[in-house]
Structure 1
């Protein structure tokens, strides 16, 4: 245990910091080790692992906005593990607490503390990342009951290390730089930017305080902002593209899976629900 920067760091915190620094260091080699095969493998893995996060971790497991056959759910979940953003159990638990305590002191990555903390600082505090101050993983009992998710929780990092070894064997150092370093870092910050920038700047589709409800996996957050930056990087809008100009690739994939019968019980807000939320928002705004 070490006391640094005003708090105690354990061995897990140091390991997380080392992994993040190593990934960013790999990116420094990108201009010198570029080739098209490495680039396209990185793009493919970015999309696949990104869908693992946005479609499976987020909308299916966290918010139960749709159902997938178990084999497909597990496949998407495994893709999410390869993003190096945590196992489904840890990620879903953290995100549920985030919605429960959005932008308060209890929020695992609240912007109230600082932009740095909400973006990446919280990642280096394992106890806060696993929400031990809120009771830990008690809010994901349905995932903890499934052997597959318990296995991913215990072996989280090993899968990405194995993927890195495979990529190096196939394409050498350029594949490692682009398909592991660049791909992982871009997706990492695309996700984290929603926690930080997405809660501080941009247009607010819903006003504070009232935005607590989840309608069909579509989050109505307290201070969440609907920004073009998050759309471009993460290919997902938190309101699932309710306006014609809001691009949401994850939602398009869900609709495709629904059309071929692989996504069922897809929940979406009705026009009446959206209008009621907008009306309540305007009332709350005038009261303020």
Structure 2
């Protein structure tokens, strides 16, 4: 792992700090308390079962994980695999904030950094630095969370957008308002027990499972699975991670062709997130959809986007 580096530029130009991941001497107790609280809430949810709560969970999962994280944060904002009208782009980004994985600017910056340094010194979450580190250790002891201003240099396109600058500050607001709405709506329809169940299932249980499914892409898909492309990293195609994430587990395909909106390439590599993008395209809401096929040339080197 590496640390904060300042790279000299051309003569007379300011020096630009390039931030890469390092293990911090300080344990991030704030993140630990938040993550632990959501895990406690997730366990509590199992004791408040209602079928309507399962429906709430599934609907919130669809919008938070599939639309928000996979389609918006990952495939649209990080890799620019397709374009949509701005109102839809913003709406899907708001869905991403409800996964509690940070603002679009933060998430995109970390993931672009991952592609730049994949499984090399500076990768935010490589299993080469430890399996536990790649799954969630980097969240609790990584130095990136204290370097948010410099980290944003990896997402200049978002930094130029007033809406994303606003969301970088207020990304906690949508999930807070949604939680209040679930508690209030459930209580109004069936009493406080139903309201509490909706809150626990639609927020705490969903977000906790969402944490681990996203982290499995960081850890498991660089440890176990098959490799179709000879990329310069340890990325693999992992079928069970793909099922859990709606298609993100076809990670070797993704690292070989990072700009492709489709991660599943063979007919049996189910990619529900790409199907969502195809649906938007059929409705005329997604354009410039980039897709790599198995008949394409050998794997593209993973390089940072030029934005």
The alignment status of 1:28 with 2:43, answered yes or no, reads yes
Counterpart contact for 1:108–1:131, Cα < 8 Å: no
Per the TM alignment, residue 128 of structure 1 is displaced from its structure 2 partner at its CA by: 2.2
Change (3 A) 1:160 1:72: same
The alignment status of 1:235 with 2:237, answered yes or no, reads no
1:286 counterpart residue number: none
2:77 counterpart residue number: 61
1:18 counterpart residue number: 33
Per the TM alignment, residue 270 of structure 1 is displaced from its structure 2 partner at its CA by: 4.6
2:117 to 101, 113, 122: 101
Per the TM alignment, residue 22 of structure 1 is displaced from its structure 2 partner at its CA by: 0.7
Q: Distance in 1 between matches of 2:178 and 2:211?
A: 17
Range with bigger deviation, 191-200 or 29-38 = 29-38
1:217 counterpart residue number: none
1:205 to 228, 251, 275: 228
Counterpart contact for 1:60–1:66, Cα < 8 Å: yes
**Deviations 1:24-65, CA, capped at 9 Å, x for gaps:** 001111231000111101111001111211111111111111
1:260 counterpart residue number: 283
1:138 counterpart residue number: 153
Q: CA RMSD in A?
A: 2.1
1:186 counterpart residue number: 209
Counterpart contact for 1:105–1:112, Cα < 8 Å: no
Q: Distance in 1 between matches of 2:154 and 2:218?
A: 20
- SS for the counterpart of 1:187 is helix
Q: Distance in 1 between matches of 2:59 and 2:200?
A: 14
1:277 to 299, 302, 307: 299
Per the TM alignment, residue 207 of structure 1 is displaced from its structure 2 partner at its CA by: 2.2
Q: What runs of 5+ residues in structure 2 fail to find an aligned partner?
A: 1-22, 187-194, 254-262, 302-307
Q: Distance in 2 between matches of 1:155 and 1:148?
A: 10
Range with bigger deviation, 13-22 or 241-250 = 13-22
Q: Distance in 1 between matches of 2:75 and 2:102?
A: 16
1:82 counterpart residue number: 98
> Structure 1 segments of 4 or more deviating over 4 A?
129-132
Counterpart contact for 1:206–1:277, Cα < 8 Å: yes
Per the TM alignment, residue 260 of structure 1 is displaced from its structure 2 partner at its CA by: 1.6
TM-score by length of 2: 0.79
Equivalenced residue count is 258
Change (3 A) 1:254 1:148: same
1:41 counterpart residue number: 56
Q: What runs of 5+ residues in structure 1 fail to find an aligned partner?
A: 210-221, 281-288
- SS for the counterpart of 1:29 is helix
Counterpart contact for 2:45–2:201, Cα < 8 Å: yes
Q: Distance in 1 between matches of 2:89 and 2:96?
A: 11
2:25 counterpart residue number: 7
Q: Distance in 2 between matches of 1:159 and 1:262?
A: 23
2:190 counterpart residue number: none
- SS for the counterpart of 1:277 is coil
Q: Distance in 2 between matches of 1:80 and 1:154?
A: 14
- SS for the counterpart of 1:196 is helix
Q: Distance in 1 between matches of 2:145 and 2:24?
A: 17
1:160 to 175, 192, 200: 175
